[in-house]
Structure 1
Amino acid sequence: MAKASYDDADSLLNKLQVSGGEKSVSEEYLGIMKDLRKEFAALLKGKLQADAALEDVIEYERPPNRFEKQGDMRVIVNRILNPLAYAWPKHEEYIRRMPQEISVLFVGMNPAPNAPSGIPFGDKKEVHNFWDIDISTSNFDGIPDSLKTDKDCVSGRRFWKFIQKHFENIIDFHEHCFVMNCTPLVFMGKVAPASARVTRTSNSNISLDNFDDDSTDPLVQSLMQKSDVALQDAISVMNPKLIIGIGWHAYNRVKNLDVNKRIKHQRITHPSSRVGGQGVNGGAKDKGDEKWIGQVEEELKDIVHSTIKSSKMEKASRRQKKIRNL
Structure 2
Amino acid sequence: MNRPATKRRTTNRDVRDQLCNAAQRLREKVNSLNFDEPITHVYNPLDYAWDLHRLYIEQVSAKAEVLMLGMNPGPWGMAQTGVPFGEVAAVRDWMGIQGVVGSVESEHPKRPIEGLECQRSEVSGRRLWGLMQERFQKPSAFFKKHFVLNYCPLVFMEASGRNRTPDKLPAEERNSLQQCCDEHLREVIDLLPWKHLIGVGAFAEGCLKRVVDDEQSSATIARILHPSPASPAANRDWAGTASSQLQTLGVW
Equivalent AA in structure 2 for residue 176 of structure 1: K
- Residue 263 (structure 1) aligned with residue 219 (structure 2): yes
Give the one of 95, 99, 120 matched to 1:131. Answer: 95
Whether contact under 8 Å (1:77, 1:188) holds in the other structure is: yes
What's the CA shift for 1:174? 2.1
Partner of 2:200: 246
- Residue 95 (structure 1) aligned with residue 95 (structure 2): no
Q: Distance in 1 between matches of 2:182 and 2:199?
A: 14
SS at match of 2:237: helix
Q: Distance in 2 between matches of 1:177 and 1:226?
A: 24
Give the one of 36, 44, 47 matched to 1:85. Answer: 47
SS at match of 2:104: coil
Q: Distance in 1 between matches of 2:157 and 2:20?
A: 26
Whether contact under 8 Å (2:95, 2:139) holds in the other structure is: no
Q: Distance in 2 between matches of 1:101 and 1:248?
A: 26
Q: Distance in 2 between matches of 1:258 and 1:299?
A: 21
Q: Specify which structure has the higher proportion of helix.
A: 1
SS at match of 1:139: coil
- Residue 219 (structure 1) aligned with residue 173 (structure 2): yes
Equivalent AA in structure 2 for residue 250 of structure 1: A
- Residue 233 (structure 1) aligned with residue 187 (structure 2): yes
- Residue 150 (structure 1) aligned with residue 150 (structure 2): no
Query: Which sections of structure 1, spanning at least 5 residues, go unmatched?
Result: 1-15, 48-59, 64-75, 190-200, 279-287, 306-326
Aligned pairs for 1:8-157 within 5 A:
17=9, 24-41=14-31, 43-44=32-33, 47=34, 62-63=36-37, 76-115=38-77, 116=79, 117-134=81-98, 139-142=101-104, 144=107, 145-148=109-112, 149-157=118-126
SS at match of 2:119: coil
Q: Distance in 2 between matches of 1:301 and 1:166?
A: 13
Whether contact under 8 Å (2:199, 2:205) holds in the other structure is: yes
Are residues 165 and 222 of structure 1, via their aligned partners in 2, closer, same or farther at CA, if it must alter by over 3 Å? same
Structure label with greater radius of gyration: 1
Which one scores higher on RCO, CA 8 angstroms, separation ≥ 6? 2
Instruction: Give me the CA root mean square deviation.
Output: 2.7
What's the CA shift for 1:114? 1.9
Q: Provide, for residues 12-32 of structure 1, a one-character-per-residue CA deviation record: whole Å limited to 9, x for no partner.
A: xxxx848x9x96111111111
What's the CA shift for 1:220? 3.8
Q: TM-score, normalised by structure 2?
A: 0.82
Are residues 298 and 36 of structure 1, via their aligned partners in 2, closer, same or farther at CA, if it must alter by over 3 Å? same
Give % identity: 29
Equivalent AA in structure 1 for residue 89 of structure 2: K
Partner of 1:187: 156
- Residue 304 (structure 1) aligned with residue 251 (structure 2): yes
Partner of 1:202: 160
Q: Distance in 1 between matches of 2:56 and 2:251?
A: 22
Q: Distance in 1 between matches of 2:26 and 2:202?
A: 24
Are residues 256 and 142 of structure 1, via their aligned partners in 2, closer, same or farther at CA, if it must alter by over 3 Å? closer
SS at match of 2:191: helix
Q: Distance in 2 between matches of 1:169 and 1:132?
A: 10
Whether contact under 8 Å (2:200, 2:223) holds in the other structure is: yes
What's the CA shift for 1:276? 5.0
Q: Distance in 1 between matches of 2:240 and 2:123?
A: 16
Q: TM-score, normalised by structure 1?
A: 0.64
SS at match of 2:74: coil
Equivalent AA in structure 1 for residue 59 of structure 2: R
SS at match of 2:29: helix
SS at match of 1:35: helix
